[in-house]
Structure formats: C-alpha cells, structure tokens
Amino acid sequence: MADTVAATQQGGYPHFLEPLDLGFVKLRNRALMGSMHTALEETEHGFERLAAFYAERARGEAGLIVTGGIAPNPAGRVFTGAAKMDTEHEADEHKVITRAVHDNGGLIAMQVLHTGRYGYHREAVGASELQAPINFVKPKKLSDEAVHQTIADYAKCAQLAQYAGYDGVEIMGSEGYLINQFTAARTNNRDDEWGGTYEKRMRFPVEVVKAVRKAVGEKFIIIYRLSLLDLVDGGSSWPEVVQLAHAIEKAGATIINSGIGWHEARIPTIAMVVPRGIFSTVTGKLKKEVTLPVVTSNRINTPEIAEAIIARGDADLVSMARPFLADGAFVAKTRAGRAQFINTCIACNQACLDHTFSGKLTSCLVNPRACNETNLNYNRTDKPRKIAVVGAGPAGMSAASVLAERGHHVTLFDAADKIGGQLNIAKEIPSKREFEETIRYFGNMLHEHQADVRLGKKVSAEELIQAKFDEVILATGIVPRKLNLPGADSAKVLSYVDVLREKKTVGKNVAIIGGGGIGYDTALYLTDPGHKTWANPEEFAKEWGFDLKVSTRAGLTEKSPELVAAPRQVTMFKRSKGKFGNTLGKTTGWIHKITLDERTVAQFSNITYDKIDEQGLHYTLKGESKVLPCDNVIVCAGQEPLRDLEAGLVAAGIAPHIIGGALEAGELDAKRAILQGAELGARL
C-alpha cells in the first residue's frame, strides 16, 4: 500500500537492516526466513531445486534461513514418506542445500519437527493417547523409554544437520506439535515424570534442548520456537510460557522464536483478515523476560512493519516465511531503496499452505517462480518483439511485466482507467485489501521495464490488426453469468459487480444466488459490521476472542458480540447438494464459514430457482415451493470467458495467445491467471 513508497522516500530501515552479533556468528540483518515445508523435500531431484530456492533467498540477503520441518525419526514425520533425518545418507542429501546457501553468503538452520499427534500416519505418537480434532489418527502414548529415545533422536538429528553443513537448528516447540503436546494439560494426562505438574510437563522440551546443545557443541545456533499464545483450551498460561523460556535459555538455546496458535485453534493467525504485525507486542512482552535475542512472527510482510517492530524494541529479529516465497529479494530490495518493487505476500495461502495441505508443491500466487527456480526463469531475450497484451487483470499484468522485463516491446491495453482487472473488485472485500499490493507491484514493474500501458482503451480486433504486432495476447477476462429466470431483469436483481464495484444501494434483506468464492465474498461484504478489525489488532482480538496481553490461560477470552453484528440479513442459495463452502481455500475457508455463521447468514443448498417478483425470490426446496421476501437478489452465479476479439484476429490470420479467464472461466482464480501469464511471458 501507499506506506511502502512513503517509507522508502523517507529513506532507510536502520533497525531492520542492522547486523545481529550472536557471539560466534553474525547475522547480516534482522530478517529470519521462517520455516516452510515446500514438498520439494519429497520430490524427485527436489534437493537440487531446494538448493536453487534457498540460494536465491540467500542472494536476496535473508539474514538467517530456516528450512521446512525435518522429522528426527519415522514417528515424527508429517506423513509416511515425508522428510526425516536419522541417517548419514539422509544428511548427505542436504549438503547441496547448505553449500548453495553458503556460496551465496547466507546462513541456514534446519528445523527439527516432530509432529506427534499431528502425524497423518499410523505410527503417530503423542504425550498421551488423545486424538487431535484435526487428525483422523489416534496417537500411541510414548512410553518413558520412548520419550528418552525421542530426546536422543532430536540430538542425533541436530548432529546430522551439523554434519550436513547447517549453521544451526530450529527446534519446533509450538503450533501444537509434539513438544506442545507435552507442555499443555490439554494433551498431556500422564502421571509419570513427563506429566502432571507444569514442571514435569515442560521437562520434555528442556531435555531436548539440553541434549541438542550437548550434541552440537557451543558454536551452533539453536533456535527454540516457543508457543507464546496457544489459543486452545487447556493451553499454557503466560507465567508458564515465561517459566519455559527461562528454562530453555538455561538449557542452551541461542535464539527464541515466537509461535502463535496451535493448528487446531479456531482463531485466524496468518490469513489476510489478520492485521499486519498483530502479535509483535506478545513477543515484546517476552523480550522483557529473557536475555536471548527473540524473534517475532506472523503477518509481517513489508519492511515498514519490520522496521517499526525492531525500532520499538518488541523483537530482535522478524520472521517472515511467506514473504520470502513472494519475493526472495525482499531484504536486498529494501537495502537498495527499492521497497516499492517488493512483490508483497498478500497472506492468501492459495499457492502455499493450501497446496501443502493438499499434498501439492508449494509455490506462490503472486510469484509463480517460487519453488520453480530451476524451471521458470525470465531470461533476457535477444530477439525483442512487438507484443500486444489486451487486458490488465492478473493474467495480462503478469504476462506484460515478464515480457517487458525480458526486453520485449510491450503494449498493455485495458478498457478500465486502472490496471488490476477483477482484483480491483476483490480488494473491496474488507478482508482482501492486500490485493492492492499486487496491483502496486505490477504497476511499478511495468513502469520500470517501460511497458506502454494504455488505460481507458477498449481495443478492437481491427486496431490490433492494423498495429501489426508480432504477437497478440488476449487476457480479456470474463463476463459474469446472467440468470435465466422469470424476473431476472427486475430492478431488485443486481450482479456482484453492481454491488462491489458500482456500489449500488442494497436493502436490508438480501438473497445471494451462488455459493462459490464470490458468493461468499459478497456475503462477507454485505454483512460487514464496519469496524475495520483487519486494521486494528485490539479490535481483531476482541472479535475473535483472545487477549494480546495474555492475561488468561492460552490467551482465550469471550468474543465481543457487538463486533460481529451484521447490518442486514443475508440468505445464500445454491442448486447443488451438500454443504456450503466446499470450494473455499483449505486453510482459509473455515474463517469465512465461522464469520458468516456469527453474522447469522442463512444458507440453503439443493434449491431450484422459480422466479423473482415483487414478493422476493421464489424457489423450491425438497419439492416445496417457498419464497424469501427480500429487497435485492444478488447474482454470484459464476462467469463465462470473454473472447470477443478472437474471431476477428483469427480471420485476419493472427493466432492470439489466450490466457486467464478469457481461456477458461471455470475454477479460475488469480493464482492460475498469474501463473499462465508468467509461463507465457517466459516462453515468448
């Protein structure tokens, strides 16, 4: 947003860019690239690709990189066949990564992650035999002997990481994984030396840190990821968190990283709805208690936020994971005074976490090169051509910017008076304002690489033919699908574009036709109570029922009903059977569902639409005719491709390249549109 440019003009990010001396090693700045599983760990030739991925982030000046989680033993794996390190052979495979990072001036630590009861396999173990609400597997309780063996496995894994060339390890002690399962009464009902009192529950992580320190010697970084705010019933209290921090410090850790929220918590902690930098004050509270450097994390996606946090003294380092997927050169651009060219992570989760949880390779919606560094490159062309791109939505912006960066002569047309296409509509949804950053990034790239951007220009096939372009790309997007229903043309029927872009007046009782992503977004927009909680950490915490001061156990409090009261009654309809929300993102859909539920949005599936008249929307449900009295019916019934220029071009012997919604409207999203644009841009 505008603040990115403003801060750049003021010049400098002195606190964020300042080195951090750990005694035996110096970090070149305060940016820690947080741990992310990419699935390359389990892909053929994945380690070479991981090496290229991390090397690019090292070149981009990440201060300290942390890898995705690697299990210390088979039971600790995320799934059968997932990455582990308990043999020298497995450690040898990692050498290509550590070499690549060091060759590029970086430092890298390996995260040691034991999933405990979050393991999706039959070997899963836990502190107790208590099944996680988000897993289908009941864990086996670790015996006393097995607990000792697991501690030894952590130590051996760290030693192997050191042998593989890593500069340190991060011990994952948060997010509800095995270590948390020992520390929290919620998941630990043991009555031996590893359960009962808090002193006994926290013994496991303390012994792990001690054993790891003993195994790796003094000059090796040990980051401990400590859960500051569990956000689940039966989680840790603040005094317990502090007690553990002191013990971890004494046991030999080098750095304490912040963990926020277990995976099973029903409070958003990293999605776009979450205010930027919201949890830094919680880390600030811990920083006052310990002498080790502390790292803060979650929703830090611009250098301004990072600078403000470090300058305020809330943390010594900021952890950014997804922002380094979105832009490997985040720090280098910041240092060079080019923060306005950072491709900002918009916290959509669509190509990273949603992929991880569907077993797909991680990438990034705004940067399809992420994890594709060896197979998607924007090399300079030695044959610059004259290329027209019609449509400046995500597909067109992406293609035009890559082509211009590669040295082609690009003319980008859009009928609208600004670039962005439908992202300009998406960013009207209160929780989706981050799309503004994507538009800002592409706008700056197009300007930097001298693309000729012609706005307010609905181009015709005739004009394209006359201008004699070498290549024509149609990225003209979609048209919203209209209803074929008696009364569909009445004044009370509006499309989502009328509501979101044209801001047409909407009454107090509304029916929404369509339960896809846009139906949900329109419902969220129309029921938004207007408190802008996405920009206000305290209000957001009250809306979702937690306390940033952690004055209650695990930080949980009652939700504030006045923050969720909707300004109108909305009812959603769809024709297909089954629950609403099945097409929403895996890691964000639940947030939208809870939100609409709290705003008392009613939902009906398996509907036949009959007609719309003065009375309202007439429909049939289970053979019974019904009517919903309403002021407006909003149509969110999907889209059709807009390809009106194709026939004219083909008739003139021009074969256009077609991308984005213009190619296929079904299941289209900005991820696919940007990827197609980038792939075509790299190829031509």
Catalytic residues: 177
Query: Quick one: what does residue 513 bind among ligand NAP, ligand SF4, ligand FAD, none, with the CB cut-off 5 to 8 Å set by partner type?
Result: ligand NAP
Chain center to CA of 478: 26
* Nearer of residues 405 and 669 to ligand FAD, judged by Cβ: 669
Query: Quick one: what does residue 209 bind among ligand NAP, ligand FAD, ligand SF4, none, with the CB cut-off 5 to 8 Å set by partner type?
Result: none
Query: Quick one: what does residue 660 bind among ligand FAD, ligand SF4, ligand NAP, none, with the CB cut-off 5 to 8 Å set by partner type?
Result: ligand FAD
Within residues 225-264, the interface with ligand NAP by CB under 6 A covers none
Counting contacts by CB under 6 A, is residue 521 touching ligand NAP? yes
Query: Quick one: what does residue 149 bind among ligand SF4, ligand FAD, ligand NAP, none, with the CB cut-off 5 to 8 Å set by partner type?
Result: none
Query: Quick one: what does residue 119 bind among ligand FAD, ligand NAP, ligand SF4, none, with the CB cut-off 5 to 8 Å set by partner type?
Result: none
Within residues 576-615, the interface with ligand NAP by CB under 6 A covers 576, 583, 585
Beta carbon of residue 477, minimum distance to ligand NAP (angstroms, whole number): 11
Distance CA 389, CA 464 (A): 10
Quick check: 40 and 48 in contact, CB under 8 A?
Answer: no
* Nearer of residues 102 and 575 to ligand NAP, judged by Cβ: 575
Counting contacts by CB under 6 A, is residue 489 touching ligand NAP? no
Counting contacts by CB under 6 A, is residue 396 touching ligand FAD? yes
Q: Are strands 108-112 and 409-414 parallel, antiparallel or unpaired?
A: unpaired
Distance CA 321, CA 258 (A): 13
What track of x and - describes contact with ligand FAD for positions 278 through 307 (by CB under 6 A)? ------------------------------
Distance CA 450, CA 438 (A): 18
Distance CA 536, CA 276 (A): 9
Closest CA to 420 of 412, 410, 409: 412
Counting contacts by CB under 6 A, is residue 350 touching ligand FAD? yes
Beta carbon of residue 523, minimum distance to ligand FAD (angstroms, whole number): 11
* Nearer of residues 316 and 646 to ligand FAD, judged by Cβ: 646
Distance CA 400, CA 392 (A): 8
Q: Report, in angstroms and rounded to the nearest whole number, the Rg of the chain calculated over CA atoms.
A: 26
Give the Å distances, CA to CA, from 489 to 97, 109, 213: 61, 61, 72
Query: Quick one: what does residue 388 bind among ligand SF4, ligand FAD, ligand NAP, none, with the CB cut-off 5 to 8 Å set by partner type?
Result: none
Task: Please select the residue that binds ligand NAP; options are 256, 445, 513, 554, rule is CB under 6 A.
Answer: 513
Beta carbon of residue 410, minimum distance to ligand FAD (angstroms, whole number): 14
Query: Quick one: what does residue 639 bind among ligand FAD, ligand NAP, ligand SF4, none, with the CB cut-off 5 to 8 Å set by partner type?
Result: ligand NAP
Residues that bind ligand SF4 (CB under 6 A): 322, 325-326, 345-352, 364-366
Distance CA 28, CA 669 (A): 38
DSSP state of 431: G
* Nearer of residues 206 and 329 to ligand SF4, judged by Cβ: 329
Tokens of 527: 């029921």
**Three-class DSSP category at 335:** helix
Counting contacts by CB under 6 A, is residue 639 touching ligand NAP? yes
Tokens of 429: 């949804």
Beta carbon of residue 353, minimum distance to ligand NAP (angstroms, whole number): 12
Stretch that binds ligand FAD, among 19-27, 148-156, 426-434, 622-630 (CB under 6 A): 426-434
Query: Quick one: what does residue 310 bind among ligand NAP, ligand FAD, ligand SF4, none, with the CB cut-off 5 to 8 Å set by partner type?
Result: none
b (16+ CB within 10 A) / e for 337-374: eebbbbbbbbbbbbbbbbbbeeeebbbbbbbbbbbbbe
Counting contacts by CB under 6 A, is residue 322 touching ligand FAD? no
- C-beta nearest to ligand NAP: residue: 516
Quick check: 348 and 272 in contact, CB under 8 A?
Answer: yes
* Nearer of residues 459 and 564 to ligand FAD, judged by Cβ: 459
* Nearer of residues 162 and 367 to ligand SF4, judged by Cβ: 367
Query: Quick one: what does residue 574 bind among ligand FAD, ligand SF4, ligand NAP, none, with the CB cut-off 5 to 8 Å set by partner type?
Result: ligand NAP
Q: State the CB neighbour count (10 A cutoff) for residue 507.
A: 11
- C-beta nearest to ligand FAD: residue: 393
Q: Where are the beta strands (DSSP E) in 115-167?
A: 125-126, 140-141
Stretch that binds ligand NAP, among 54-62, 216-224, 452-460, 637-645 (CB under 6 A): 637-645
Counting contacts by CB under 6 A, is residue 167 touching ligand NAP? no
Give the Å distances, CA to CA, from 444 to 465, 499, 548, 659: 29, 29, 36, 22
Beta carbon of residue 530, minimum distance to ligand NAP (angstroms, whole number): 21
Counting contacts by CB under 6 A, is residue 495 touching ligand FAD? no
Counting contacts by CB under 6 A, is residue 620 touching ligand NAP? no
Task: Please select the residue that binds ligand FAD; options are 116, 139, 323, 391, rule is CB under 6 A.
Answer: 391
Burial degree of 329 (CB within 10 A; 0-12, 13-18, 19+): buried
Beta carbon of residue 398, minimum distance to ligand SF4 (angstroms, whole number): 13
* Nearer of residues 365 and 645 to ligand SF4, judged by Cβ: 365
Residue type, position 519, single letter: G
* Nearer of residues 84 and 671 to ligand SF4, judged by Cβ: 671
Quick check: 41 and 83 in contact, CB under 8 A?
Answer: yes
Closest CA to 393 of 655, 665, 682: 665
Chain center to CA of 195: 35
Distance CA 62, CA 16 (A): 11
Query: Quick one: what does residue 325 bind among ligand NAP, ligand FAD, ligand SF4, none, with the CB cut-off 5 to 8 Å set by partner type?
Result: ligand SF4
Q: Which residues contact 614 (CB under 8 A, 6 or more apart)?
A: none
Query: Quick one: what does residue 391 bind among ligand NAP, ligand FAD, ligand SF4, none, with the CB cut-off 5 to 8 Å set by partner type?
Result: ligand FAD
* Nearer of residues 232 and 274 to ligand NAP, judged by Cβ: 274
Beta carbon of residue 345, minimum distance to ligand NAP (angstroms, whole number): 15
State the DSSP string of 504-566. Answer: ----SEEEEE--SHHHHHHHHHHT--S--GGG-HHHHHHHHTB-TT--SGGGB----GGGT--
Residue type, position 53, single letter: F
Query: Quick one: what does residue 30 bind among ligand FAD, ligand NAP, ligand SF4, none, with the CB cut-off 5 to 8 Å set by partner type?
Result: none
Counting contacts by CB under 6 A, is residue 351 touching ligand FAD? no
Quick check: 441 and 338 in contact, CB under 8 A?
Answer: no
Counting contacts by CB under 6 A, is residue 443 touching ligand NAP? no
Stretch that binds ligand FAD, among 54-62, 63-71, 305-313, 390-398 (CB under 6 A): 390-398
Indicate the angle between helix axes 435-448 and 394-405, nearest 10 degrees: 30
Q: Which residues contact 574 (CB under 8 A, 6 or more apart)?
A: 513, 514, 515, 519, 580, 604, 605, 607
Residue in the block written with tokens 């002997």 = 145
DSSP state of 121: S
Residues in contact with ligand FAD by CB under 6 A are 348, 350, 390-396, 413-416, 421-423, 425-426, 429, 432, 458-459, 475-478, 500, 517-518, 521, 642, 645, 660-661, 668-671, 673
Residues in contact with ligand NAP by CB under 6 A are 350, 481, 483, 513-519, 521, 574-576, 583, 585, 636-639, 667-669
